[in-house]
Amino acid sequence: MESSVSLSSQSTTTTGKLPTRMFTPFTASDVDRYNRGEFIPPDKEFPWIDAAQRLFEDPSDLSSTGWKVCTHPEGAPYFCDIQRRIYTDTDVRNPKKMGTVEKCISRLSELAASHSITFPSPASSPSLELVLELANGKSRKECRYYFVDTEKRLLFWVHAWVPERMYANLRGVKKQSHIKMALEMQYWTHCELYPRERTFDAAVYRELCGLVIHANAESITSDTSLAPFESAELSKMMDIVRVLQDSVGQVNDPVMCVVARFMCIFSRIHFLNFHGQPCARLDVDHSIYYPRNHRLRTSLLLHVLSFLLFGAPWRYVETLRGVWVDETVNLPRWKAFVARVIDEWGGFTIYSTVMLAVDISLLGIADSDSKTYQSVTVIAIYVSVICTVGSIVASVVLTGMWRDKAENAEEVAKYMNEITDTVIGVDHMAIMFSVPFGLLIWGMTSFLVAFLDLIYTSTYLPTLATTTPGIILVAVLVAWPVWVAVERGLGGWIMRAVDIWKQQVVRTGWHIKGWGEQGVRSWREREGSTIVEIRRGSVGMAEPGILDTGRRQGSASVSSGREGRKTVSFVETGEDVEARVGMGAAFGTGDGVQDLQASEDVCKPQLLEMGRMV
């Protein structure tokens, strides 16, 4: 929600009646310099140069004012009043626009004074700046503006408003220190847009050096680095930063643009990852909204098509959730993902092409015998051809669609938001990516059916005697990697479903916190003994430790020594984990230790959650 205040509703100044415009707060990233809508007539008449002409200046009426025409290093002109530290992209060479701009400045100064802010700042300490531009709104003319505090590195306004675009759709922005990061990001964007007469000091240079060095080291030593660039790009940035040392404290517009752009990039990364907040994202695949063991909801369509596409959607959905985390994109990780899937699709295209050639060859053999016409062999070959052609087409289409989707992080995030903004969300992409693989496997399966049918419809015994052992041997050898693939892919969702059922339905287990993944354990006490038997479930492994203190220890008996509680040992042997306890021994962590009383019921299950009896 943007706040606007009409100038016409305010008091007039000595410069005359104020125009009917609204003050509209905006940010530095909202300066639309790249889409001004101005064009040059494509005239073919070339201008004349006078004899001995050595002065080439455009006519301007700014000589009697404090305004100057400045040229950004990228080439765009803008206008500034260095004495008052005011910048604008509005062409103040137009006298009418100049008058409107001055009236807006006068009124904004009055509004700032109502908040005990003096603008323009005293010449001795010019820490405040103003950026404004005239624009045509949807219903009325606007004067868009923002103030800048260069000492605090932030933007501010004299109207309350909600800068939604500045927050970049980031959920959970609450704390003032986090909002300050967004404002600092806008400050560096402002410095990049208007670098005239700016310098950076040694403190900024050291800060930038530290950020680049840390990002470079992190990208090398961590697979889940938050660095916004790849190692090669960061090395080039290091080379640039070394050169910048000679420009510390000197006025140099191009160099200032480079420093401001680099600082803006790192400020944006800090803001998006909640830098300095208790919930800061430390790994690129870490969600700040859900715990690591949180199971995101998957659509019924993904479950169904995982069967039809041989588990490939599950593999892709897990990968996508590691790349598209909290609706944000880390560009190096995204580039690696896109390169990997494009390489996979290229491989599927080659395999499908080979399969297509083999299908056609086998079809020729089958058609040579009129008795096999429209037999199982021929029908299976037809199905195989259809599937392999579909795999080729899907691979080519997906490769062309995604080849150019790895250049700009903002464009990638926008595209991902559009493509996942459906009922099934990211599952939609996972299914789409799985089509080439699934069709290829179906093509191979159909070819195998046709080939086996061709063999076993033969009545020639030597053929059957020689091929059958080979088929059995190959089937045994292939079964191993196939089983592993099924267990890791298609069977993964079955195992997860079973684990959920065990935790929610069986309701007998021990959830170990801090010692590994959550696991399901069934407990019982043996008759006439103080041994508690813990049977393993299918998830996680319990590590040796002392249950009443939570400290990691060896498997030897250790006395807790607290309030007379008896000895507790935690022994792991084979498929069982045994906890030897005395009467009244304690289980738990920290202040939550509770006593576990021996039970006469040899089969009575006992549930401990987070190390506590429930």
How much is the pLDDT for 301?
85
Predicted TM-score (pTM) of the model is 0.71
Residues 262 and 371 occupy one common structural domain:
no
In a domain, 578, yes or no: yes
- Kindly report the average pLDDT of the chain as a whole number: 77
In a domain, 311, yes or no: yes
Coil vs helix vs strand at 495: helix
Residues 250 and 381 occupy one common structural domain:
no
Residues 226 and 87 occupy one common structural domain:
no
Query: Hey, how many other C-beta atoms are within 10 angstroms of the C-beta on 612?
Result: 16
In a domain, 40, yes or no: no
Residues 278 and 186 occupy one common structural domain:
yes
Lowest mean pLDDT across 73-87, 320-334, 484-498: 484-498
Residues 138 and 246 occupy one common structural domain:
no
Closest by CA to 154, choosing from 177, 186, 126, is: 186
Residues 136 and 22 occupy one common structural domain:
yes
Residues 66 and 131 occupy one common structural domain:
yes
392 is in which domain, residue-wise? 300-327+339-400+416-457
Which residue has better confidence, 601 or 395? 395
- Output the six-digit token pair for 101: 């701009």
In a domain, 607, yes or no: yes
Q: What is the mean pLDDT of residues 378-406?
A: 90
Residues 430 and 375 occupy one common structural domain:
yes
In a domain, 174, yes or no: no
In a domain, 213, yes or no: yes
The DSSP annotation for 5-21 comes to: EESTTSPPBTTBPPPSE
In a domain, 472, yes or no: no
When divided into structural domains, the chain yields a total of 4
Residues 521 and 567 occupy one common structural domain:
yes
Residues 254 and 357 occupy one common structural domain:
no
CA angle 412, 339, 228 (to 5 degrees): 50
In a domain, 488, yes or no: no
Coil vs helix vs strand at 85: coil
Task: Give tens-digit pLDDT for 454-510.
Answer: 888 877 788 888 888 888 998 889 888 877 766 655 555 555 555 545 544 433 333
Lowest mean pLDDT across 181-195, 354-368, 383-397, 565-579: 565-579
Task: Give tens-digit pLDDT for 300-315.
Answer: 888 888 889 988 898 8
Residues 189 and 160 occupy one common structural domain:
no
Residues 428 and 535 occupy one common structural domain:
no
